[in-house]
Structure 1
Amino acid sequence: SLQAVRDFLKQKHVMYWTLNPYAVYEKHTLDGKTVQGSRCQGMYDQLMAAGARHRGFVHGIDNSTEPRWMYVIPTDFDSPQAMLDSFAHKCSRSIRRAMDFGVRVRELSEQELPLVDEMFVHAGDKHEFSWRNDDYTRRLWNAFHESGAVKFLVAEITLQDYTGRLQKTLETLRQQQAETEDSIARIRSKKMLNRLKEIEQKTASVQKHLEEAETFEADGPVLKLAAGIIFDYGQEVICLMSGYDERYAWFCGPYAMHWQMLKHCLEQGYARYNLYGISGEFGDDAVDSGVYAFKKGFNGEIWELPGDFEIPVDPVRYSLLRVARKLKGIRHRTS
């Protein structure tokens, strides 16, 4: 019970303890509207009745605490295809594109961990957040990898394989173009002219990507597209953090990585794939609008959590702390 915990902490001379329940307070639609009848008020009322102080139903990104808003994708589908078909068109198209390109997803070895930090630092520079030092990644590995609870993933593509696929596609298109031109020479029709135009457009696109691939050769034979830290936890799989190299955005590496984990959820019987925190702000000017637009494509659910509670253990000292906080706030506002 809460009182038993409080009594134990009092023996340790603790002033207060912070509780951040991982439980759904309310569900929301993908555009942020409340799902009627989804509120679970009981836990909040119980904690407040026990003397807890609620830090508020906040929005935004606060790296000092756990997210209060989460984006989760239920994985109760009959097949991977049914799950893929449930996604938004752009999302499912990007997953198929990654597969067509030959993007593969694998687990990193311990020696490859610096790649994770490099990828996250790069993502942090783009989205204006700071990544932890490499000691954090190492500690996660040491604490959880042997038990299989954590995976460090990379999505990558071999340039030779990719260009080989493009060359094969180009050969097929040229053969189709020759056959179509032969048909037009015999019977000129609008349908065949439109088909020829479509083939020519596809050919130009493939040639463009072949030329682009040549510019990547200096980066090495294997391009690292995206990386992620994934936990198997309870009834879900959680993507704690992920990042990608925007130079290779065309290959859809993040989509390939998350699709691999979604299939893992389905195969292993996990109830959901948790893409973790969002700001809870749904306008175009939200701090995470770009990231949320990506997550939204998986057609998941928005979970609003209760947030942070402070439960006093030593009421006198805790009251003094609150006074000090108020004075500090006044001093900051007047300075």
Structure 2
Amino acid sequence: MFFTTLTEDEFAQFTQENFSHYTQSARHYQYRNVHQQDVHLVGVKDDDGKVIAACLLSEARCLRFFKYFYTHRGPVMDYSNLRLVKYFFASLTRYLKKQRCIYVLVDPYLLASLRETDGEIIESYDNQRFIKELAKLGYIHQGYSIGYSQMSQIRWLSVLDLKDKSETQLLNEMDYQTRRNIKKTYEMGVQVRTLSIDETPTFFELFRMAEEKHGFKFRELDYFKQMQKTYGNRAFLKIAYVDLYTYLKALNEKHTELVLELNKLNAKLQESPNSKKTKSKINQLKQQVDSNTRKINETKELMQSEGDVLNLASALYLYNEHEVYYLSSGSNPKYNRFMGAYRLQWEMIKFAKKKNIDRYNFYGITGDFTDDAEDFGVQKFKEGFNAHVEEYIGDFIKPIHPLLYKLYQFTEKSRKH
């Protein structure tokens, strides 16, 4: 086998055929290569010239004249093949030395454990031989982190397995309340559409509301435009909304039906005044009429104060051959009763099924499974869809030039203080 740079086509074919993260994609490479010119495609081929490992690497300026590199959930390879692992990472070190690299950050898309939503381990994966092999080559494991970090990709993911499951089965396996909330979105006329890139500010307004609610500042508007440009038609913004005019029309039609049914039952009661069954049905119908009338009045008030269309929730989605990813999102808390976020998820789960994609990735959680976790509500929301938890191995750092790396660490500490 031999280490080599890869063509775009070689890289694209390998990452499409082998399980890989969306950042390890030809689309990502194409955009960055044109606009930032900071990407490399490297890999290993066997003696017959067949690609057996591939990795997109990006570079960034470090200590003015030098660089650091990042592997973007790569490389894509069979991590159980320790001979291949040893060869790839030893070769990568040699390659990076020629690139004026001070250090490289590696974060393999490699499972450490599968867990229940409460954190209980379903299955552990023994990665110690892999970690030791990398340690011999100077790649230092950064530990098993919990929580969110601006410096690295999230280590804990919430994932729903779609393989060999029908839409009905997926719904039935959800929590009762989640299933009920999805059903209610249909009754309330919630709809979903794709936003154009020019409508990104509409998404961003809802995203800002989520930031304010959770007390964090994460991304700016341009980031979400760039994600759509980078991944093309594989990345899009979806919005859940209610057209109140249409909803009011449906409520009025329902009111007419309920009143008609009530009149029929009242006529029936006159014929049989002692019928308990009819009386019970009349009472139930009166409750439905009252409830529907209340909704009609609330909807009219909303139309007067908010206009005809309510934007409920919006999210950035991305997909490849292996997964649909639910990334950043936001919602208007004033309209929580319309359950927009639930409808968004269900529409995208159905989208994944239509595309024959077996994994729906709800993406990051903290890995803190206590009731005090900062993302406790988010975890419960994802748990309701019957998602399980995947823990990944985490980061490795390899100082390519140890003395310069120490200098870099010193300057970073000084800058922060």
Partner residue of 1:47 out of 110, 116, 134 = 134
Check conservation: 1:16, 1:318, Cα contact below 8 A: yes
1:181 Cα deviation (Å)? Answer: 3.6
Partner residue of 2:328 out of 232, 241, 246 = 241
Partner residue of 1:84 out of 168, 171, 174 = 171
State the match for 1:163 in structure 2: 248
Question: 125-134 or 298-307, which moves further after superposition?
Answer: 125-134
Check conservation: 2:316, 2:327, Cα contact below 8 A: yes
Question: 309-318 or 63-72, which moves further after superposition?
Answer: 309-318
Match of 1:203, SS? helix
Q: TM-score, normalised by structure 2?
A: 0.73
State the match for 2:372 in structure 1: 285
CA–CA distance in 2 between the matches of 1:172 and 1:262? 33
CA–CA distance in 2 between the matches of 1:46 and 1:241? 35
User: Aligned pair 1:123/2:210, yes or no?
Assistant: yes
Match of 1:25, SS? strand
Check conservation: 1:25, 1:41, Cα contact below 8 A: no
- Rate the CA distance shift 1:26–1:124 in 2: closer, same or farther, 3 A: same
State the Cα deviation string for residues 243-268 of structure 1 (Å, max 9, x = none).
11111112111111111111111111
User: Aligned pair 1:265/2:335, yes or no?
Assistant: no
Query: Aligned pairs, how many?
Result: 328
State the match for 2:152 in structure 1: 65
CA–CA distance in 2 between the matches of 1:106 and 1:259? 13
Matches within 5 A, 1:209-248: 209-217=295-303, 218-248=305-335
Check conservation: 2:317, 2:327, Cα contact below 8 A: yes
1:4 Cα deviation (Å)? Answer: 1.5
1:286 Cα deviation (Å)? Answer: 0.8
Which stretches of structure 1, 4 residues or more, deviate above 4 A after TM superposition? 37-42, 319-325
- Rate the CA distance shift 1:305–1:198 in 2: closer, same or farther, 3 A: same
Partner residue of 2:398 out of 311, 314, 318 = 311
CA–CA distance in 2 between the matches of 1:23 and 1:188? 70
Check conservation: 1:27, 1:304, Cα contact below 8 A: yes
User: Aligned pair 1:200/2:286, yes or no?
Assistant: yes
State the match for 2:52 in structure 1: none
1:37 Cα deviation (Å)? Answer: 4.5
- Rate the CA distance shift 1:15–1:202 in 2: closer, same or farther, 3 A: same
- Rate the CA distance shift 1:200–1:14 in 2: closer, same or farther, 3 A: same
1:82 Cα deviation (Å)? Answer: 1.9
Match of 2:143, SS? coil
- Rate the CA distance shift 1:66–1:215 in 2: closer, same or farther, 3 A: farther
Check conservation: 2:144, 2:394, Cα contact below 8 A: yes
Instruction: Give the unaligned 5+ runs of structure 2.
Output: 1-87
Larger relative helix fraction: 1
AA matched with 1:179: K
State the Cα deviation string for residues 178-226 of structure 1 (Å, max 9, x = none).
3334444424354444433332322222222222212321322221111
Partner residue of 1:3 out of 90, 93, 102 = 90
- Rate the CA distance shift 1:131–1:210 in 2: closer, same or farther, 3 A: farther
Check conservation: 2:144, 2:393, Cα contact below 8 A: yes
1:93 Cα deviation (Å)? Answer: 1.2
% identical equivalent positions: 28
Instruction: Give the unaligned 5+ runs of structure 1.
Output: none
Check conservation: 2:248, 2:300, Cα contact below 8 A: no
AA matched with 2:365: I
AA matched with 2:237: F
CA–CA distance in 2 between the matches of 1:195 and 1:91? 28
- Rate the CA distance shift 1:45–1:97 in 2: closer, same or farther, 3 A: farther
CA–CA distance in 2 between the matches of 1:154 and 1:162? 17
1:305 Cα deviation (Å)? Answer: 0.8
CA RMSD of aligned residues (A): 2.3
Match of 2:111, SS? coil
Q: Which has the higher contact order (CA 8 A, sep 6+)?
A: 1
Check conservation: 1:77, 1:266, Cα contact below 8 A: no
AA matched with 2:347: Q
User: Aligned pair 1:296/2:378, yes or no?
Assistant: no
Match of 1:35, SS? strand
- Rate the CA distance shift 1:90–1:42 in 2: closer, same or farther, 3 A: farther
CA–CA distance in 1 between the matches of 2:150 and 2:277? 57
1:19 Cα deviation (Å)? Answer: 1.1
User: Aligned pair 1:178/2:244, yes or no?
Assistant: no
